[in-house]
């Protein structure tokens, strides 16, 4: 048999996803922004035995999945997060079930926003509207109003900064705590010593309030960017109607279902778990799995997947998978892992952020010394570089200028936008893809998709439907032997698509004895019958086995039509030829031509003989020189490597099962999978629908996400590069600095959220 594209069994050697027992969930204290999320994720991913980590900002949680051989240890997780400056506690099952945290002024940013904004607006109105800033009674009132904001609203920043200080590190909380304390501390010292200048309580309150607003918006918009994942989480119903032996229905929680249970499903209800139809007929909408809006007809024996919608008939299903073993749970796991992944581009931001805070503190210290010790020189420099400024635009005394401009530098340089640039874009892009039936493995897959120069397509199940059928049979000696019966008997034990097609072509009515049956992977099948070896397989293999295969019009005619021709032989005698034909997938020609217009070098790889492969390639527009025929499964990865050695960046498109080595070797692996194959982890991108039309959409969305990441990183760096010098020169007050920092966060998040509405 020719090198078949499904030559292995269902166990392709790819690692499995963790089971529910392998996952541990934690509530984490101290996660204030995406920089914190990234730091916590890195700390957990470094632990031995950890398979994957998902850390979320809203709610502040960490979900750790362990490798199969690892022993879960909550204490290890708690210690690792403590070493990174965070506090964690394990969640019980009941706690994990409640994904929405109760409102608490100390758990969220609402308290800071309400109290801080109220006091900030009162102080702004009084100082800017009524000109009360220099009135002594108002200064004492401002102190009384600012003190609770500094103590209560600022507590989160102080605690976060202290945790980082204890481990010898620093973060955004450090800058906010230093900046607001500088403004508040200087003003309090001036108030109690009777200094007659302007006090900066409004600025101290504004720093905490505006940055709290930024964090609140960040958590809200990050949660909004993840709404596709939340929609997936809500698809599976909480209860199901289990049938007992008498057929009576009992409503129970879905969590209580076990494999083998029978469940009744009424029209309009969602399927609770994965199962197989036992009774009834109905149309089921599977858009949440495949992105295809047309319903699929289901009858006894058909598979059902949790979260899909039963439309118009009553069904009885037998439960085959529950919990994290369902297709829906596997999809959620892939999306969660992708959301928490890091792209290579993020390394630049990480490297900068690692030294950013200490550098900013030094710049702020230098700014304070410059304005404090050389006030006239600082004013002269600022007004020379920015002629529209006047000396009265600056604090009246060197001491005030030193404190205020140093505080401004600390605030405006907060690296929050850099921390947001990559994860929020990945989250939005991954969720947008999931709604289209496209699962993107991680951030690196997004990057790799932008560098692809060659597309290598497997044939069966990818370019073609993979639904083979025997089109014609040629008997060398008609009537001499029941060749169809013999071929069906040989093929029956095999799971290969070609074997299944031959076995289905003729039911076995007699049972000639076969001994020593074995399948030669990528070649064919052989056994012993009545003392002679019988073989069913490819011409090349049969010829190597000593079978005499003469040229004939049957072979050339069907190969010219793109059919696969197999031979049946006994000993060295050829008994019959079987022509098996597959159909091209819809839009295959359109997809191939579109990729070629984009400059991609499109190739076809198959185990079929060259003549058949060339015929199929001609139908979809792939040139003959880009056809690789008679390639055995283990040789596909070698072929990918050979193209890579020639300077090509290769994307391999396969069915996600036997193509695992090639998918892993390729720069970008794309698996055209069905729902039952979601757990396969060899691919970078998994298409839940069988139509390869999704491939250009997947590449386009991945490249759009990559562009968004680059845009976000540019604006984040540009913002800091422009804002810090302006603040050093005294152009930006602490209030404007805090507002500018929040605006940069919104710009980055808003740019990423555009991916959610992308149409192709």
* Dihedral, CA of residue 231, residue 235, residue 239 and residue 245, to nearest 10: -160
Give the dihedral sign, CA 341/343/349/351: positive
Report CA 531 to chain centroid distance, whole Å.
56
- Residues 514 and 529 sit within 8 Å (Cβ to Cβ): yes
| Distance from C-alpha of 101 to C-alpha of 27, rounded to nearest angstrom | 10
- Active-site residue, from 22, 173, 261, 458: 458
| Distance from C-alpha of 538 to C-alpha of 567, rounded to nearest angstrom | 6
> Token pair for residue 639?
């072929």
Residues in Cβ contact with 155 at an 8 Å cutoff, skipping those fewer than 6 apart: none
Closest of 66, 54, 81, 73 to residue 20, by C-alpha: 66
Catalytic status, residue 442: no
Give the dihedral sign, CA 517/523/524/526: negative
Phi and psi for 701 in degrees, rounded to 5? -70, -40
Residues in Cβ contact with 197 at an 8 Å cutoff, skipping those fewer than 6 apart: 190, 395, 396, 397, 400
The CA-based angle 75-346-672, given to 5 degrees, is 85
The CA-based angle 711-717-718, given to 5 degrees, is 85
| Distance from C-alpha of 159 to C-alpha of 161, rounded to nearest angstrom | 5
169 preceded by a cis bond (ω within 30 of 0): no
User: String of b and e for 569-580 (b: at least 16 CB within 10 Å)?
Assistant: bbeeebbbbbbb
- Secondary structure (3-state) at 612: helix
| Distance from C-alpha of 187 to C-alpha of 177, rounded to nearest angstrom | 15
**Sheet with strand 239-243: strands edge to edge:** 249-253, 239-243, 262-265, 315-321, 274-279, 303-304
**C-alpha distances in angstroms, 526 versus 329, 477, 491, 514, 521?**
41, 21, 9, 10, 11
Residue positions annotated with a catalytic role: 458
């Amino acid at each position: 048999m020719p090198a078949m594209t499904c030559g292995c069994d269902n166990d392709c050697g790819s690692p499995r996803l963790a089971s529910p027992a392998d996952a541990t969930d934690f509530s984490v204290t101290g996660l204030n922004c995406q920089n914190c999320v990234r730091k916590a994720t890195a700390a957990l991913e470094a632990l031995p035995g950890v398979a994957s980590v998902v850390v979320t900002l809203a709610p502040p949680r960490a979900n750790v999945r362990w490798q199969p051989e690892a022993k879960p240890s909550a204490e290890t997780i708690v210690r690792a997060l403590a070493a990174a400056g965070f506090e964690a506690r394990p969640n019980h099952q009941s706690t994990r079930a409640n994904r929405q945290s109760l409102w608490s002024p100390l758990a969220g940013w609402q308290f800071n926003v309400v109290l801080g904004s109220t006091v900030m607006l009162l102080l702004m109105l009084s100082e800017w509207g009524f000109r009360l800033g220099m009135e002594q009674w108002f200064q004492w009132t401002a102190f009384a109003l600012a003190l609770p904001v500094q103590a209560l609203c600022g507590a989160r920043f102080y605690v976060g900064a202290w945790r980082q200080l204890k481990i010898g590190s620093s973060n955004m909380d450090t800058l906010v705590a230093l900046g607001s304390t500088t403004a508040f501390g200087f003003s309090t010292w001036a108030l109690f010593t009777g200094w007659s200048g302007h006090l900066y309580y409004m600025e101290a309150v504004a720093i905490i309030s505006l940055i709290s607003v930024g964090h609140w918006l960040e958590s809200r918009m990050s949660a909004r960017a993840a709404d596709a994942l939340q929609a997936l989480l809500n698809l599976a119903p909480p209860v199901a109607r289990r049938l007992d032996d008498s057929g009576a229905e009992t409503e129970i929680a879905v969590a209580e279902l076990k494999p083998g249970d029978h469940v009744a499903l009424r029209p309009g209800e969602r399927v609770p778990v994965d199962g197989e139809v036992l009774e009834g007929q109905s149309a089921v909408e599977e858009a949440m799995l495949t992105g295809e809006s047309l319903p699929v007809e289901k009858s006894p024996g058909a598979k059902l997947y949790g979260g899909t919608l039963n439309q118009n008939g009553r069904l009885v299903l037998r439960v085959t998978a529950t919990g994290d073993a369902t297709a829906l749970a596997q999809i959620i796991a892939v999306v969660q892992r992708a959301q928490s992944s890091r792209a290579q581009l993020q390394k630049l931001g990480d490297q900068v952020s690692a030294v950013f805070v200490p550098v900013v503190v030094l710049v702020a210290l230098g700014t304070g010394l410059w304005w404090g010790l050389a006030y006239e020189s600082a004013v002269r420099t600022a007004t020379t570089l920015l002629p529209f400024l006047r000396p009265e635009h600056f604090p009246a005394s060197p001491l005030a200028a030193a404190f205020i401009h140093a505080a401004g530098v600390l605030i405006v340089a907060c690296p929050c936008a850099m921390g947001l640039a990559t994860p929020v874009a990945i989250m939005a892009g991954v969720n947008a893809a999931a709604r289209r039936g496209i699962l993107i493995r991680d951030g690196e897959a997004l990057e790799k998709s932008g560098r692809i120069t060659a597309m290598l397509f497997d044939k069966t199940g990818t370019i073609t439907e993979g639904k083979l059928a025997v089109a014609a049979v040629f008997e060398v000696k008609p009537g001499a032997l029941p060749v169809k019966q013999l071929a069906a008997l040989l093929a029956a034990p095999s799971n290969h698509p070609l074997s299944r097609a031959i076995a289905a072509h003729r039911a076995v009515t007699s049972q000639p004895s076969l001994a020593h049956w074995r399948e030669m992977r990528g070649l064919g099948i052989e056994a012993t019958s009545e003392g002679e070896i019988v073989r069913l397989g490819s011409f090349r293999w049969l010829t190597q086995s000593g079978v005499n295969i003469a040229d004939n019009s049957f072979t050339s005619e069907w190969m010219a039509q793109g059919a696969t021709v197999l031979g049946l032989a006994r000993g060295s005698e050829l008994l019959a030829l079987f022509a098996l034909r597959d159909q091209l997938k819809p839009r295959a020609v359109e997809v191939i031509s579109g990729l070629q217009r984009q400059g991609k070098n499109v190739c076809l790889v198959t185990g079929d003989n060259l003549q058949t492969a060339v015929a199929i390639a001609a139908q979809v527009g792939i040139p003959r020189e880009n056809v690789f025929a008679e390639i055995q499964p283990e040789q596909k990865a070698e072929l990918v490597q050979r193209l890579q050695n020639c300077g090509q960046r290769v994307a391999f498109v396969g069915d996600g099962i036997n193509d695992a080595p090639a998918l892993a070797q390729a720069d970008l692996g794309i698996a055209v999978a069905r729902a039952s194959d979601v757990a396969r982890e060899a691919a970078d991108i998994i298409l839940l629908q069988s139509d390869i039309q999704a491939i250009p959409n997947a590449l386009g969305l991945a490249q759009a996400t990559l562009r968004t990441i680059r845009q976000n990183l540019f604006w984040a760096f540009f913002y800091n590069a422009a804002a810090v010098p302006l603040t050093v020169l005294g152009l930006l007050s602490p209030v404007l600095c805090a507002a500018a920092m929040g605006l940069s966060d919104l710009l980055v998040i808003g740019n990423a959220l555009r991916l959610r509405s992308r149409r192709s």
